A and B are shown apart, each in its own frame.
Chain A
Protein backbone atom coordinates (compact mmCIF):
# COMPACT_ATOMS: atom_id res chain seq x y z
CA UNK A 1 0.00 0.00 0.00
CA UNK A 2 1.26 3.47 -0.89
CA UNK A 3 0.75 5.52 2.26
CA UNK A 4 2.34 8.86 1.59
CA UNK A 5 2.93 10.91 -1.51
CA UNK A 6 5.12 13.98 -1.86
CA UNK A 7 2.33 16.29 -0.73
CA UNK A 8 1.43 14.21 2.33
CA UNK A 9 -0.78 11.34 3.31
CA UNK A 10 -2.50 9.48 0.47
CA UNK A 11 -6.21 10.21 0.08
CA UNK A 12 -7.10 6.51 0.13
CA UNK A 13 -5.44 6.22 3.55
CA UNK A 14 -7.40 9.23 4.79
CA UNK A 15 -10.59 7.46 3.66
CA UNK A 16 -9.51 4.28 5.47
CA UNK A 17 -8.88 6.28 8.66
CA UNK A 18 -12.25 8.05 8.52
CA UNK A 19 -14.03 4.74 7.85
CA UNK A 20 -12.30 3.07 10.78
CA UNK A 21 -13.13 5.94 13.12
CA UNK A 22 -16.83 6.07 12.18
CA UNK A 23 -17.09 2.26 12.26
CA UNK A 24 -15.65 2.25 15.81
CA UNK A 25 -12.47 0.40 14.84
CA UNK A 26 -8.96 1.18 16.10
CA UNK A 27 -6.75 3.16 13.74
CA UNK A 28 -3.45 2.25 15.41
CA UNK A 29 -3.23 -1.27 13.82
CA UNK A 30 -3.26 0.49 10.45
CA UNK A 31 0.03 2.20 11.25
CA UNK A 32 1.97 -0.83 12.48
CA UNK A 33 3.86 -1.18 9.21
CA UNK A 34 4.41 2.52 8.58
CA UNK A 35 7.65 4.46 8.71
CA UNK A 36 7.97 7.08 11.48
CA UNK A 37 7.37 10.06 9.16
CA UNK A 38 4.26 8.35 7.76
CA UNK A 39 2.97 7.78 11.30
CA UNK A 40 3.40 11.49 11.95
CA UNK A 41 1.32 12.27 8.83
CA UNK A 42 -1.46 10.02 10.17
CA UNK A 43 -1.20 11.73 13.57
CA UNK A 44 -1.35 15.17 11.95
CA UNK A 45 -4.43 14.27 9.86
CA UNK A 46 -6.29 12.87 12.88
CA UNK A 47 -5.38 15.87 15.04
CA UNK A 48 -6.69 18.21 12.30
CA UNK A 49 -9.97 16.28 12.14
CA UNK A 50 -10.33 16.35 15.94
CA UNK A 51 -9.95 20.13 15.87
CA UNK A 52 -12.29 20.57 12.87
CA UNK A 53 -15.00 18.34 14.33
CA UNK A 54 -14.61 19.95 17.74
CA UNK A 55 -15.03 23.35 16.12
CA UNK A 56 -18.10 22.12 14.19
CA UNK A 57 -19.75 20.80 17.37
CA UNK A 58 -18.60 23.26 20.05
CA UNK A 59 -17.93 26.35 17.94
CA UNK A 60 -15.95 29.03 19.72
CA UNK A 61 -16.32 27.16 23.01
CA UNK A 62 -13.69 24.67 21.85
CA UNK A 63 -10.52 25.17 23.86
CA UNK A 64 -7.03 23.79 23.59
CA UNK A 65 -7.70 21.93 26.84
CA UNK A 66 -10.60 20.02 25.23
CA UNK A 67 -8.11 18.21 23.01
CA UNK A 68 -4.96 18.37 25.15
CA UNK A 69 -6.57 16.63 28.15
CA UNK A 70 -6.64 13.39 26.15
CA UNK A 71 -3.03 13.60 25.04
CA UNK A 72 -0.62 12.18 27.60
CA UNK A 73 2.85 13.72 27.52
CA UNK A 74 5.79 11.36 26.94
CA UNK A 75 7.13 9.60 30.03
CA UNK A 76 10.63 11.05 29.81
CA UNK A 77 11.91 8.84 32.64
CA UNK A 78 11.69 5.86 30.26
CA UNK A 79 13.84 7.53 27.58
CA UNK A 80 17.56 6.80 27.30
CA UNK A 81 19.65 9.90 27.86
CA UNK A 82 22.10 9.24 25.05
CA UNK A 83 23.14 11.28 22.05
CA UNK A 84 23.07 8.32 19.68
CA UNK A 85 20.21 5.91 20.29
CA UNK A 86 21.79 2.76 18.87
CA UNK A 87 19.02 0.44 20.03
CA UNK A 88 16.23 2.73 18.75
CA UNK A 89 14.66 2.47 22.19
CA UNK A 90 13.70 6.12 22.20
CA UNK A 91 12.23 5.82 18.71
CA UNK A 92 10.13 2.84 19.82
CA UNK A 93 8.90 4.79 22.83
CA UNK A 94 8.02 7.76 20.63
CA UNK A 95 6.07 5.53 18.23
CA UNK A 96 4.29 3.86 21.15
CA UNK A 97 3.31 7.28 22.52
CA UNK A 98 2.14 8.47 19.10
CA UNK A 99 -0.01 5.35 18.62
CA UNK A 100 -1.68 5.95 21.99
CA UNK A 101 -2.32 9.56 21.04
CA UNK A 102 -3.80 8.49 17.71
CA UNK A 103 -6.30 6.17 19.43
CA UNK A 104 -7.14 8.88 21.99
CA UNK A 105 -7.72 11.45 19.25
CA UNK A 106 -9.91 8.98 17.34
CA UNK A 107 -11.98 8.54 20.48
CA UNK A 108 -12.43 12.32 20.70
CA UNK A 109 -13.47 12.44 17.03
CA UNK A 110 -16.01 9.66 17.63
CA UNK A 111 -17.45 11.53 20.59
CA UNK A 112 -17.80 14.74 18.59
CA UNK A 113 -19.19 12.96 15.52
CA UNK A 114 -21.58 10.50 17.14
CA UNK A 115 -22.81 11.89 20.47
Chain B
Protein backbone atom coordinates (compact mmCIF):
# COMPACT_ATOMS: atom_id res chain seq x y z
CA UNK B 1 0.00 0.00 0.00
CA UNK B 2 2.78 2.39 1.02
CA UNK B 3 4.66 1.50 -2.16
CA UNK B 4 1.55 2.20 -4.23
CA UNK B 5 1.21 5.62 -2.58
CA UNK B 6 4.84 6.30 -3.37
CA UNK B 7 4.26 5.43 -7.01
CA UNK B 8 1.24 7.68 -7.32
CA UNK B 9 3.17 10.57 -5.80
CA UNK B 10 6.08 10.12 -8.17
CA UNK B 11 6.55 13.13 -10.38
CA UNK B 12 7.39 12.53 -14.02
CA UNK B 13 8.46 14.91 -16.71
CA UNK B 14 8.67 13.77 -20.31
CA UNK B 15 11.03 14.99 -22.98
CA UNK B 16 10.63 13.96 -26.59
CA UNK B 17 13.68 13.80 -28.84
CA UNK B 18 12.84 13.64 -32.53
CA UNK B 19 15.57 12.87 -35.01
CA UNK B 20 15.71 12.94 -38.75
CA UNK B 21 18.02 9.95 -38.71
CA UNK B 22 18.43 7.09 -36.26
CA UNK B 23 21.89 7.94 -35.01
CA UNK B 24 21.33 11.51 -33.86
CA UNK B 25 18.42 11.04 -31.48
CA UNK B 26 19.75 7.69 -30.20
CA UNK B 27 22.86 9.36 -28.89
CA UNK B 28 20.77 11.85 -26.91
CA UNK B 29 19.28 9.01 -24.85
CA UNK B 30 22.27 6.67 -24.66
CA UNK B 31 24.53 9.42 -23.37
CA UNK B 32 22.17 10.55 -20.59
CA UNK B 33 20.17 7.52 -19.43
CA UNK B 34 21.70 4.55 -17.55
CA UNK B 35 19.38 2.16 -19.36
CA UNK B 36 17.64 2.53 -22.70
CA UNK B 37 14.85 0.31 -24.04
CA UNK B 38 13.68 0.04 -27.61
CA UNK B 39 10.09 -0.64 -28.63
CA UNK B 40 9.04 -2.51 -31.75
CA UNK B 41 7.83 0.80 -33.19
CA UNK B 42 11.31 2.30 -33.30
CA UNK B 43 10.65 4.40 -30.23
CA UNK B 44 13.45 4.31 -27.68
CA UNK B 45 12.87 5.08 -24.04
CA UNK B 46 15.12 5.98 -21.13
CA UNK B 47 14.54 7.07 -17.55
CA UNK B 48 16.73 9.62 -15.88
CA UNK B 49 16.16 9.70 -12.11
CA UNK B 50 16.73 13.13 -10.62
CA UNK B 51 15.47 12.14 -7.13
CA UNK B 52 13.57 9.05 -5.90
CA UNK B 53 10.29 10.94 -6.44
CA UNK B 54 11.31 12.77 -9.59
CA UNK B 55 12.19 11.24 -12.94
CA UNK B 56 12.60 12.43 -16.47
CA UNK B 57 11.28 10.06 -19.11
CA UNK B 58 13.06 10.54 -22.40
CA UNK B 59 11.52 9.28 -25.62
CA UNK B 60 13.55 9.09 -28.80
CA UNK B 61 11.68 8.97 -32.08
CA UNK B 62 13.05 8.93 -35.59
CA UNK B 63 10.12 10.28 -37.53
CA UNK B 64 11.53 10.66 -41.04
CA UNK B 65 8.23 12.26 -41.88
CA UNK B 66 6.18 9.13 -41.01
CA UNK B 67 3.93 11.06 -38.66
CA UNK B 68 0.82 8.91 -38.84
CA UNK B 69 2.55 5.83 -37.49
CA UNK B 70 3.28 7.46 -34.14
CA UNK B 71 0.68 8.11 -31.45
CA UNK B 72 2.18 11.47 -30.47
CA UNK B 73 -0.50 12.36 -27.94
CA UNK B 74 0.02 9.10 -26.04
CA UNK B 75 3.79 9.28 -25.71
CA UNK B 76 3.90 12.94 -24.81
CA UNK B 77 1.08 13.58 -22.35
CA UNK B 78 3.31 15.05 -19.64
CA UNK B 79 5.80 16.65 -21.94
CA UNK B 80 8.09 19.33 -20.52
CA UNK B 81 9.36 20.07 -23.98
CA UNK B 82 10.78 18.52 -27.10
CA UNK B 83 14.00 18.54 -29.04
CA UNK B 84 14.19 18.26 -32.82
CA UNK B 85 17.62 17.11 -33.97
CA UNK B 86 18.88 17.25 -37.54
CA UNK B 87 22.13 17.05 -39.47
CA UNK B 88 23.15 20.65 -40.26
CA UNK B 89 25.12 19.58 -43.34
CA UNK B 90 22.37 17.39 -44.85
CA UNK B 91 19.64 19.28 -46.72
CA UNK B 92 17.26 16.30 -46.62
CA UNK B 93 17.65 16.06 -42.85
CA UNK B 94 16.89 19.77 -42.52
CA UNK B 95 13.79 19.39 -44.72
CA UNK B 96 12.50 16.60 -42.46
CA UNK B 97 13.22 18.72 -39.38
CA UNK B 98 11.16 21.56 -40.88
CA UNK B 99 8.26 19.17 -41.54
CA UNK B 100 8.54 17.90 -37.94
CA UNK B 101 8.49 21.47 -36.64
CA UNK B 102 5.37 22.30 -38.64
CA UNK B 103 3.63 19.08 -37.67
CA UNK B 104 4.41 19.12 -33.95
CA UNK B 105 4.22 22.88 -33.53
CA UNK B 106 0.52 22.74 -34.32
CA UNK B 107 -0.06 20.00 -31.73
CA UNK B 108 2.12 20.91 -28.76
CA UNK B 109 2.37 24.14 -26.85
CA UNK B 110 5.51 22.87 -25.13
CA UNK B 111 8.95 24.48 -25.39
CA UNK B 112 11.11 23.37 -28.32
CA UNK B 113 14.86 23.25 -28.91
CA UNK B 114 15.95 22.81 -32.52
CA UNK B 115 19.39 21.23 -32.34
CA UNK B 116 21.52 21.34 -35.48
CA UNK B 117 23.99 18.47 -35.22
CA UNK B 118 27.43 19.38 -36.54
CA UNK B 119 29.02 16.25 -35.02
CA UNK B 120 32.73 16.93 -34.51
CA UNK B 121 33.04 19.66 -37.10
CA UNK B 122 33.84 23.25 -36.04
CA UNK B 123 30.97 25.54 -35.11
CA UNK B 124 29.95 27.40 -38.30
CA UNK B 125 29.44 30.68 -36.43
CA UNK B 126 30.90 32.53 -33.46
CA UNK B 127 30.15 30.85 -30.14
CA UNK B 128 28.93 34.11 -28.59
CA UNK B 129 26.07 34.25 -31.12
CA UNK B 130 24.64 30.87 -30.19
CA UNK B 131 25.59 30.66 -26.51
CA UNK B 132 23.39 29.08 -25.27
CA UNK B 133 20.90 29.44 -28.15
CA UNK B 134 19.35 31.69 -30.78
CA UNK B 135 15.83 32.66 -29.85
CA UNK B 136 13.04 32.02 -32.36
CA UNK B 137 10.31 32.89 -29.82
CA UNK B 138 9.68 32.70 -26.07
CA UNK B 139 9.48 28.93 -26.16
CA UNK B 140 11.35 28.03 -29.35
CA UNK B 141 15.13 28.16 -29.55
CA UNK B 142 17.80 27.09 -32.01
CA UNK B 143 21.23 25.79 -31.14
CA UNK B 144 24.11 23.73 -32.51
CA UNK B 145 25.18 20.46 -30.92
CA UNK B 146 27.68 17.67 -31.32
CA UNK B 147 25.91 14.33 -31.03
CA UNK B 148 29.29 12.67 -30.37
CA UNK B 149 29.82 14.74 -27.23
CA UNK B 150 28.02 13.94 -23.97
CA UNK B 151 28.70 17.46 -22.68
CA UNK B 152 27.14 19.01 -25.77
CA UNK B 153 24.03 16.79 -25.52
CA UNK B 154 23.62 17.58 -21.82
CA UNK B 155 23.88 21.25 -22.69
CA UNK B 156 20.92 20.87 -25.10
CA UNK B 157 18.84 19.22 -22.34
CA UNK B 158 19.89 22.00 -19.93
CA UNK B 159 18.77 24.59 -22.49
CA UNK B 160 15.39 22.89 -22.84
CA UNK B 161 14.84 22.83 -19.08
CA UNK B 162 15.94 26.47 -18.87
CA UNK B 163 13.42 27.43 -21.56
CA UNK B 164 10.69 25.32 -19.90
CA UNK B 165 11.26 27.06 -16.55
CA UNK B 166 11.27 30.52 -18.12
CA UNK B 167 8.18 29.68 -20.19
CA UNK B 168 6.30 28.38 -17.13
CA UNK B 169 7.08 31.62 -15.27
Contacts of B99 in A (CB 8 A): 12
Which residue of B102, B106, B142 is within 8 Å of A18 (Cβ)? B142
Contacts of A76 in B (CB 8 A): none
Would you give the shortest CB distance from B88 to chain A, in whole angstroms? 8
Number of A-B contacts (CB under 8 A): 56
B112 at interface by CB-CB < 8 Å? yes
Which residue of B94, B126, B135, B136 is within 8 Å of A57 (Cβ)? B126
Bound CA–CA A26/B149 (angstroms): 32
Would you give the shortest CB distance from A86 to chain B, in whole angstroms? 37
B98 at interface by CB-CB < 8 Å? yes
B-binding segment of A48-56, A67-75, A94-102? A48-56
A11 at interface by CB-CB < 8 Å? yes
A2-B102, A18-B142, A22-B124 known; A11 vs B136 contact (CB < 8 Å): yes
Cross-chain contact B134 with A18 (CB below 8 angstroms): yes
A90-115 CB contact bits vs B (8 Å, 1 = yes)? 00000000000000000000001110
A14-B136, A18-B142, A49-B134 known; A113 vs B101 contact (CB < 8 Å): no
Bound CA–CA A5/B135 (angstroms): 17
Cross-chain contact B142 with A15 (CB below 8 angstroms): yes
**Interface size, A (range):** 20 to 34
B84-111 CB contact bits vs A (8 Å, 1 = yes)? 0000100000100111011001100000
Which residue of B101, B128, B129, B135 is within 8 Å of A12 (Cβ)? B101
Bound CA–CA A49/B94 (angstroms): 20
**Contact residues, B18-70 vs A (CB, 8 A):** none
Bound CA–CA A114/B129 (angstroms): 9
Contacts of A22 in B (CB 8 A): 124-125
Would you give the shortest CB distance from A66 to chain B, in whole angstroms? 16
Cross-chain contact B129 with A112 (CB below 8 angstroms): yes
A89 at interface by CB-CB < 8 Å? no
Other contacts beyond A11-B105, A14-B136, A19-B94: 12, CB < 8 A: A5-B105, A8-B137, A11-B114, A12-B99, A12-B102, A15-B114, A15-B136, A18-B142, A52-B134, A57-B129, A113-B126, A114-B125
B contact set with A: CB distance below 8 Å: 88, 94, 97-99, 101-102, 105-106, 112, 114, 124-126, 128-129, 134-137, 140, 142
